[in-house]
C-alpha cells in the first residue's frame, strides 16, 4: 500500500509567481511570506515524498465558464503550464503518475463521484505556484496528479461534499498497490475578494478559526453552507474548499506541525499549514 505522509495547504496568488521571477523573495514586502516556507521545505527534505496529489481550482487556462466540471482529475503522462496573461514565466512540465491517476478515477467513480477524466491537461498558477514554493529546485523531484475542484462557477460543490471527496481520495491512496510516499497539497485562499463592493475583503478572525478547525475538527467547515463561507471568506476565498479536500484525505492520526498566516499579499490573506499523517 502507498503511504500518505501528510498534507500541505497553501495560497497561490499570481503575484507570488511574479516575485519569484523577479528575485524579490528577500524584499521587505515579501520576506516574511517566503521565509514561512522554509520549515515546510526542511520537512519535505526529510520525508521525501515521491508523488503529490494537488487539489486546486482552474482559473480559465484549462476550463472556462462554458465548460466547468465540478471535479476533474488529470490522467496524463505530463502536464504543462501556459501563459495565463499575468506575465508569469512558464514553468517546466510536470511528470504525471498515470497509475495513481487511473486508480483514483476508478476508486472515486466506484464511490459515486462523477469525475471528468483529462488525458490532456494544462495547469495554471494554482497548481504551479505551490510546487514552486515547496520545491524551488529543478527538475521537479516529484510526480504529480492534478485534482481540480470548481470554486469559480455557481453552483459550487458543498463543503461537506468536498470533505467526502477528500476522504474518498484518501481511501484510494491507502489502497493503491504501490509503496510510494504520497503528499497532498490543497491550493488556494485564504479570505479574499477581487471584485464588487467587497473588493479587498480580508477576514482574519474567520481565517484563524478555519485553520484551527482543520487539525481536529474539519467537520466544522463542512457544516457551513457555500453562501456562508463566501460571506465570511469572500468570493475567491471559497478556494478554501481545496484545503478541505486535502484535509479529508488523511483518515488516520493527524498532527499539525506548522502554520504561517500573513497579510496582505496582493489584497489576499495568505496561509500555509503542514500536517503529518500516520495510520
Looking at the structure of the chain, the number of domains it has is: 1
* Per-residue confidence in pLDDT tens, the chain, 279 aa: 899 999 999 999 898 999 999 999 999 999 999 999 999 999 999 999 999 999 999 998 899 989 999 999 999 999 999 888 877 888 999 999 999 999 999 999 999 999 999 999 999 999 999 999 999 988 999 999 999 999 999 999 999 999 999 999 999 999 999 999 999 999 998 998 878 888 878 899 999 999 999 988 999 999 999 999 999 998 998 999 999 999 999 988 999 999 999 988 888 999 999 999 998
Is 59 a residue of the active site? no
Closest CA to 126 of 89, 94, 161, 81: 81
CA 135 and chain centroid, separation: 15
Task: Check 12, 59, 103, 125 and give the catalytic one.
Answer: 125
Helix, strand or coil for residue 204?
helix
Cα 74 from Cα 150, distance rounded (Å): 14
Is the pTM here over 0.85, yes or no?
yes
CATH number at 45 reads 3.40.830.10
Length of the chain: 279
Task: Check 192, 201, 262, 277 and give the catalytic one.
Answer: 192
The C-alpha cell that represents 88 in the structure block: 508569469
Instruction: Output the pLDDT for position 222.
Output: 95
Cα torsion angle, 228, 232, 236, 238, sign: negative
Is 192 a residue of the active site? yes
Cα 276 from Cα 43, distance rounded (Å): 10
Range of the domain at 212: 3-278
φ, ψ dihedrals at 153, nearest 5°: -115, 120
Closest CA to 270 of 39, 30, 60: 30
Amino acid at each position: 500500500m502507498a503511504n500518505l505522509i501528510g498534507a500541505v495547504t497553501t495560497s497561490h496568488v499570481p503575484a507570488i509567481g511574479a516575485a519569484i521571477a523577479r528575485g524579490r523573495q528577500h524584499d521587505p514586502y515579501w520576506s516574511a511570506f517566503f521565509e514561512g516556507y522554509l520549515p515546510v521545505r526542511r520537512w519535505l527534505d526529510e520525508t521525501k515524498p515521491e508523488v503529490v496529489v494537488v487539489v486546486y481550482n482552474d482559473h480559465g487556462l484549462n476550463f472556462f465558464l462554458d465548460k466547468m466540471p465540478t471535479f476533474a482529475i488529470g490522467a496524463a503522462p505530463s502536464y504543462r503550464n501556459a501563459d495565463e496573461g499575468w506575465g508569469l514565466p512558464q514553468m517546466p512540465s510536470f511528470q504525471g503518475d498515470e497509475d495513481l491517476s487511473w486508480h483514483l478515477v476508478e476508486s472515486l467513480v466506484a464511490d459515486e463521484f462523477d469525475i471528468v477524466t483529462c488525458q490532456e491537461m494544462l495547469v495554471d498558477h494554482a497548481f504551479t505556484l505551490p510546487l514552486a514554493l515547496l520545491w524551488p529546485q529543478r527538475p521537479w523531484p516529484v510526480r504529480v496528479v492534478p485534482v481540480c475542484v470548481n470554486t469559480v462557477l455557481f453552483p459550487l460543490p458543498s463543503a461537506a461534499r468536498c470533505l467526502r471527496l477528500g476522504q474518498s481520495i484518501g481511501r484510494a491512496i491507502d489502497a493503491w498497490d504501490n509503496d510510494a510516499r504520497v503528499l497532498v497539497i490543497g491550493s488556494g485562499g485564504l479570505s479574499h475578494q477581487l471584485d464588487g463592493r467587497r473588493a479587498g475583503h480580508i477576514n482574519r478572525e474567520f481565517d484563524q478559526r478555519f485553520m484551527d478547525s482543520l487539525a481536529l475538527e474539519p467537520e466544522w467547515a463542512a457544516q457551513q453552507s457555500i453562501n456562508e463561507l463566501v460571506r465570511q471568506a469572500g468570493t475567491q476565498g471559497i478556494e478554501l474548499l481545496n484545503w478541505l479536500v486535502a484535509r479529508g484525505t488523511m483518515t488516520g492520526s493527524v498532527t499539525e506541525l506548522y502554520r504561517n498566516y500573513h497579510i496582505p499579499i496582493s489584497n489576499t490573506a495568505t496561509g500555509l499549514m503542514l500536517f503529518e499523517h500516520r495510520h
